[in-house]
Every structure is written in structure tokens, then in C-alpha cells.
């Protein structure tokens, strides 16, 4: 058994060293930078990934991480563009759901009532719930910038948390 595990570890290491593609390398480099607190370097890696490999399987997570970065530095225009791209082009991705609380906050800040209504509708229709014995259903996501997201779906609203803190509440 021990021999088998050792062989597997060696095989994976070789694969990582020689078989890993550049988009993957950039993605993990960004994650590494983010974990060490170098958000600017992390963003640069993600930006290079999106520029060079827009169709990469890491694109949705990378886009979301870029949006998080833009939002954190107050560049709401680019944050919105990145989040809207996730909503329109990556509907089946994990970060898709968590783009909405950011978009909602920005729409509210702009006093764009139509956008607020539209976002609430999209949130309400993004999951079809069946709550027979529970009161809510949770969805989680760990972003590339090392933030832990949680969406708690109730029958008439959703609570969004970032790192355990309530970030947005969207009724519908």
C-alpha cells in the first residue's frame, strides 16, 4: 500500500513538472501570490491568464478574482465588466452566483433601479429550491483571492457571506 502511494506521489509530481500547461501555472501562481498577501502580483498573473488563455477552464475563477481585485481598489467599472462577463458567459460556473451581490451593490450605488430589479430576478431564478425538511440551502465558493463565499438560499431571500460576514441580503 505504501509503495502504491509513493508511486502516485511521484507520478503526480512528474505530471505537474512536465505536463502542466501555462494557464494552470499562471492560475496557481496567482493563488500562491494571493495567499501570501501579494494581491497585485496575483492580479497580474490572473490578467496574463485571461489575456493569453481566454478559453481556459480557469477563466471563470480568474475573472471573478480579477473582479474582486478591481472592487477592492475601487475600480467599479472594470469590476462590473468582469462580473457581467461571468454572468453572461459562465452561467454554469461556481462563481456565477457570487457575482450577483457585487453587481447588486454597484447597481444600488448607481441608483439604477432597473438593474437592481433585474439582478434580484436573476438571483431568484438562478437556483430552483425544494425545501421539504430544511429551511435553507447553502452554496459555497472559495475564490482564487482566498475569500470564502457562502450563499444561504431561503424561500424568499438569499444571504451572501464573505469570510463569515454578511455581505448582502437579496430578497425576492
Partner 1 sequence: MICLRKYLFRIIIVLSVIFVLAYFATALFINKKFFPPSLKTEIEQYFSQNLPGKISIARITYSPFNRVILSQARFYDSGGGGSAPTLIIDKLKISFSLLRFLSAGELIVTDIKIEGAGADIFLCAAFLKENMGPLLAFLAKLTPPDDLAVNLEKINLSFSLPDGRVLNASVLTRLRIRQRDVLVKGSLKIPNIFSAGSKAGHILKFKFKGALESNGVRIDDLEFKADKLFSRFWGFYENSTLQLNGFFELNDFLKRFSENKTGSNFPAGLFRRLGWRADKLALPQRQFNTDLEISDISWRMKFLAASLKIQSLDFFLNNVPIHIAGDVFFVPAVSMDLKFSSYQDQLKQARIRNYNAFDAAISGTLKDWGFYGKIASEFRRKGANKPSAEKAEIIFDNLNFKPLDKKVLEINFNGADLSYWAQDNFYNVFLDNFSSELDYGHEIKKPLIFDSGIYGGILSGRGQIDTSGLPLKLRFDFRVKDAEANKLALVLEHFSKVHGKISSRLSYDNYDGSILKGGMIMRDGYLENFEFFKWLADFFAMPGLSRIEFGRLSGAFLVDDESAGMDIIDLDSSQISLDGYFRQLENGLVESRLSLGLSRPILEGSPKFRPLLSILGNDIESLVFDFQLSGLLSAMNFKWLESDFKQRLKARIPDFIERAIERNVEQAIFDIAH
The least distance separating partner 1 from the CB of residue 93, rounded to whole angstroms, comes to: 19
The least distance separating partner 1 from the CB of residue 96, rounded to whole angstroms, comes to: 16
CA–CA dist 119, 135 (Å, integer): 23
Are 42 and 145 in contact, with CB atoms under 8 Å apart?
yes
5 near partner 1, judged by CB under 8 A: no
The correct pick among 124, 146, 147, 161 for binding partner 1 (CB under 8 A) is 124
3-state secondary structure of 90: coil
14 near partner 1, judged by CB under 8 A: no
The torsion angle over the Cα atoms of residues 53, 81, 152 and 165, rounded to 10 degrees, is 100
CA–CA dist 168, 172 (Å, integer): 13
Kindly state the cell numbers that stand for 38: 501579494
The least distance separating partner 1 from the CB of residue 140, rounded to whole angstroms, comes to: 17
The least distance separating partner 1 from the CB of residue 42, rounded to whole angstroms, comes to: 36
User: With CB under 8 A as the contact rule, which of the stretches 44-52, 58-66, 82-90, 114-122 interacts with partner 1?
Assistant: 114-122
Are 79 and 141 in contact, with CB atoms under 8 Å apart?
no
Q: Provide the binding-site residues for partner 1, judged by CB under 8 A.
A: 114, 117-118, 120-121, 124-125, 127-135, 155-156, 172
Amino acid at each position: 500500500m505504501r509503495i502504491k502511494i509513493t508511486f502516485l506521489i511521484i507520478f503526480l509530481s512528474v505530471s505537474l513538472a512536465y505536463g502542466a500547461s501555462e494557464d494552470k501555472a499562471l492560475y496557481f501562481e496567482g493563488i500562491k501570490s494571493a495567499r501570501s498577501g501579494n494581491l497585485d502580483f496575483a492580479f497580474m498573473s490572473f490578467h496574463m491568464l485571461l489575456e493569453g488563455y481566454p478559453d481556459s477552464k480557469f477563466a471563470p475563477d480568474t475573472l471573478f478574482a480579477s473582479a474582486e481585485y478591481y472592487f477592492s481598489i475601487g475600480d467599479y467599472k472594470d469590476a462590473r465588466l468582469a462580473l457581467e462577463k461571468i454572468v453572461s458567459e459562465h452561467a454554469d460556473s461556481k462563481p456565477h452566483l457570487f457575482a450577483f451581490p457585487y453587481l447588486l451593490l454597484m447597481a444600488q450605488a448607481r441608483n439604477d433601479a432597473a438593474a437592481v430589479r433585474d439582478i434580484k430576478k436573476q438571483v431568484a431564478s438562478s437556483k430552483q429550491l425544494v425545501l421539504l425538511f430544511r429551511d435553507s440551502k447553502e452554496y459555497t465558493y472559495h475564490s482564487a483571492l482566498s475569500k470564502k463565499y457562502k450563499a444561504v438560499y431561503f424561500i424568499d431571500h438569499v444571504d451572501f457571506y464573505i469570510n463569515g460576514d454578511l455581505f448582502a441580503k437579496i430578497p425576492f
